[in-house]
């Protein structure tokens, strides 16, 4: 297990997030591709639930998945999240949900008419587009440097405040 190893969260950090109302999701055991080790789907589920987290969803490590992974995940989870950036519109692909990365994974390219540059302006534009299109977003934080963390944490707060100002529900 990677919990508590170098570069990964400790059990105490995960407990604190959980105590503060954050959803804890499965992400495999070794962060390897689930298509290469399907047993990690259940092993991760069992471990996190044994810790008391009541895990209901999975984020595919590396964002990779196939039909076998989906079929195995359906036994334990309500949905699966990929790394495919984008909006989620009806009908929802429950085991192929899209997300949008905040933090180090921006591309400085245009996506769906929005410049991805890791700025609050780009996050705000994503929210505006989701509202206009009657779709929804999953934001993911992925950081690489302490400077990025500090800046991105501010942008996350700003984005949350902006979403609240629109009276749009936020679900964690």
Interstrand relation of 57-59 and 79-85 (parallel, antiparallel or unpaired): parallel
CA–CA gap between residue 74 and residue 68 (Å, rounded): 10
Residue 97 pLDDT more than 90? yes
Share of the chain above pLDDT 90, in %: 59
Torsion of CA 68, 70, 75, 76, to 10 degrees: 130
Residue 119 pLDDT more than 90? no
Identify the pLDDT of residue 38. 94
Q: Tell me, yes or no, if the pTM score tops 0.75.
A: yes
Residue 145 pLDDT more than 70? no
Of 2-6, 30-34, 71-75, which range is least confident?
2-6
Residue 11 pLDDT more than 60? yes
């Amino acid at each position: 297990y990677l919990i508590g190893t170098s570069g990964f969260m400790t059990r105490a950090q995960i407990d604190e997030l959980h105590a503060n109302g954050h959803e804890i999701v499965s992400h495999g055991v070794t962060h390897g591709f689930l298509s290469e080790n399907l047993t990690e789907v259940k092993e991760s589920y069992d471990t996190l639930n044994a810790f008391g987290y009541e895990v209901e969803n999975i984020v595919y490590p590396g964002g990779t998945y196939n039909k076998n992974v989906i079929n195995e995940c359906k036994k334990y989870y309500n949905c699966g999240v990929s790394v495919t950036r984008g909006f989620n519109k009806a009908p929802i692909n429950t085991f192929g949900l899209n997300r949008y990365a905040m933090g180090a994974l921006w591309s400085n390219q245009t996506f769906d008419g929005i410049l991805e540059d890791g700025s609050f302006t780009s996050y705000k534009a994503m929210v505006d587009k989701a509202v206009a299109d009657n779709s929804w977003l999953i934001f993911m934080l992925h950081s690489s440097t302490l400077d990025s963390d500090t800046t991105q944490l501010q942008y996350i707060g700003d984005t949350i405040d902006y979403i609240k100002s629109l009276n749009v529900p936020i679900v964690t």
